[in-house]
Amino acid sequence: MRWPLAARVSLSSPDLKLHNLYSERDERVLFAGLSLSVSAGDVVQLAGPNGSGKTTLLKILAGLSSRYEGDIHWRGENLITQREDFRQHSLYLGHGSGIKAQLTALENLRWSCAVRGQHVADTDLHRALTTVGLGDFIQQPCYSLSAGQQRRVNLARLFCCPARLWLLDEPFTAIDQRGVAEIEQWICDFADNGGMVLLTTHHPLSLPRPLRRIELGRT
Amino acid sequence: MIPMGTGAVMFAVLRRDLQAALRRGSEWSNPLLFFLMVCSLFPLGIGPERQQLAVLAPGIIWVVALLASMMATDGLFRGDYDDATLEQLLLSPLPLYPLVLAKTFGHWLVSGLPLSLLSPLLATILQLPSEGLVVLMVSLLLGTAVLSFIGAIGAALTVGLRKGGLLLSLIVLPLYIPVLIFGSAAVKSAIDGMAYLPPLAVLAALLMTALALAPLAIGGALRISVDQ
């Protein structure tokens, strides 16, 4: 599998750098003084109990939340000035379904690529859906798919939207045993190709490459 | 992978919204049914006297159209918010303006447009003099588009709230009033044989203003609503 990396840059400096990040919710501190550098090839697992701010951190990074203090740098520049470039090179999979139930898997995927400003040929979309194991369900409306299959439709975006950074919020939800191993493999392949992954999961990851764990909720 | 132009992306957004709306009929058919039912109940309630109905008809049709439009508005971003496709829209590297514009236009195509096209039928039921028919339709075409834009701002502001329905009405209703006044005034002027172009021109001006400014407000409101 060849990964659609948007661009390759030098591996010397970290692409994503968090410095002294602070966030609170309902007057409860989620994390404070959080610093983290992510460079090409890094896989970072955000761990911590429920409500410790894992999703909030991913949302802050994705640009969906502005409830933080501190600095985030993307490719050496402040993220606020680099939003457009960051959005082009990052792919966020939240824990919502991310698909319209009344549309087919193919239509959903086509739309997801289109809002990122990319026209992807139908054959490539077919290939992406086949890769996530939905080859036989391409023309079915998503409401007739199981929860795990719907999740896979969302995951298929990983294979047709070029990105350098994946932000995955609980990617293993509703996915079967074999699927979990598959996703781990995709993450691995992606990192091998110079991609960066930040993910939250309670699932013990078994990756054949070094994994960094950031514990949240221990302030 | 080929980069898409803004027009192509807008078309893709529009197409998906129309497909989704057509496959789930209740979204667009409920406000339309409401419009049909309420308008056809008036002759029964008031009585079939021609003169009386003719005087009331422009106001009735416009008020009911406004309420139907408000009904449709609540669902504009609700579905996308619930299934998190709204997040994808907001994380697009493209400017939000054209995307939101396409969504609002798509919403008008399934709410305001069918309502405007049906209005001559209801006007006939309500004994509206035939001189007013065309002006009624034109005023509704322009007016419902403005209502869609205003409603979209309210829907974007309240989409993050679990029970935003009442708040939405409170936000958009005062803003709807100018549209109602000029819309029904245009129809009345046409029936009375007076100049109907000035109120129509005001509606068109409102639409142009909404077209230019509303998508900015909608985009900003959506970002705030998702940032909870």
Q: Choosing among A2, A111, A164, which should be mutated to test the B contact, i.e. which has the most B CBs within 10 A?
A: A111
- Cβ-contact A28, A110 below 8 angstroms: no
β-sheet bridge partners, residue A77: A74
Question: Which tokens in the block code for residue B182?
Answer: 């000029």
Query: Chain A contact for B96, CB < 8 A?
Result: no
> For A34-63, what is each residue's pLDDT tens digit?
999 999 999 999 998 888 889 999 999 999
Burial class (CB in 10 A: 0-12, 13-18, 19+), B69: buried
Q: Is the pLDDT of residue A209 over 70?
A: yes
Instruction: Judge: domain A16-215, CATH 3.30.420.140.
Output: no
Domain boundaries, chain B: 6-226
Contacts B19 to A, Cβ<8 Å: 102-103, 107
CA distance A111 to B128: 44
Predicted ipTM? 0.88
> Which of A111, A112, A116 is opposite residue B93, by nearest beta carbon?
A116
Can you give the pLDDT at residue A8? 47
CA distance A62 to A64: 6
Give the mean pLDDT per block of 10 residues along chain B (228 residues): 86 95 87 93 89 91 95 90 93 94 96 94 92 95 97 95 87 95 96 94 97 97 91
Question: Mean pLDDT throughout A96-115?
Answer: 93
Query: Chain B contact for A84, CB < 8 A?
Result: yes
* Predicted structure pTM score: 0.91
Say which residues have a Cβ less than 8 Å from residue A193's Cβ, sequence separation at least 6.
A3, A5
Query: Chain A contact for B130, CB < 8 A?
Result: no
CA distance A30 to A56: 9
* pLDDT grade for A7, boundaries at 50, 70 and 90: very low
Average pLDDT of chain A is 88
